[in-house]
Amino acid sequence: MSNLTTWTGGCHCGHVRFEVETDLAQLVSCNCSICQKRGSILAFVPAANFNLISGDSDLTDYQFGGKTIHHLFCKVCGVASFARGEKGTSGPMVAVNVRCLDGVDAGDLRPSMFDGRSL
């Protein structure tokens, strides 16, 4: 059984704030064009484990390629703290950029590498 923790996080300016329940056990560092440029380290969680507290009206949606992932970022500060999409048959998922979680030191993380560039 996993040890889920509720984390808070958000963008740089604070307009976008959220809570997410995850154990941070399976993290991904992807080398696709957008993740590499952002420096994202991602935790994929079921949409039910994610709660947007504030900033819905401050989010801008960016899609590319197959347009299956909604890359959301704050229109005030530009930080992309999470994305929404589907994960196979698992249903709606949220990819949280753990660098945007309060109290998380990215230097302590050991994400698995994912070769998104070859997709």
Walk along the chain (119 residues) and give the pLDDT tens digit of each residue. 468 999 999 999 999 999 999 999 999 998 988 888 999 999 999 999 999 999 999 999 999 888 888 999 999 999 999 999 987 777 899 999 999 999 999 889 899 988 888 87
In order of 24, 58, 75, 82, 105, the CA distances from 44 in angstroms are 9, 22, 23, 10, 18
Residue ranges of the domains in the chain?
5-113
Angle, vertex CA 17, rays to CA 117 and CA 95, nearest 5 = 25
> Are the C-beta atoms of 74 and 41 separated by less than 8 Å?
no
Listing DSSP states for 80-110 in one string gives --EEEEE-GGG-EEEEEEGGGBTT--GGG--
> Are the C-beta atoms of 85 and 74 separated by less than 8 Å?
no
- Cα(42)–Cα(36) distance, integer angstroms: 12
- List, in order, residues 6 or more apart from 37 with CB less than 8 Å away: none
- Cα(113)–Cα(74) distance, integer angstroms: 26
CATH number of 5-113: 2.170.150.70
Threshold 0.75, pTM exceeds: yes
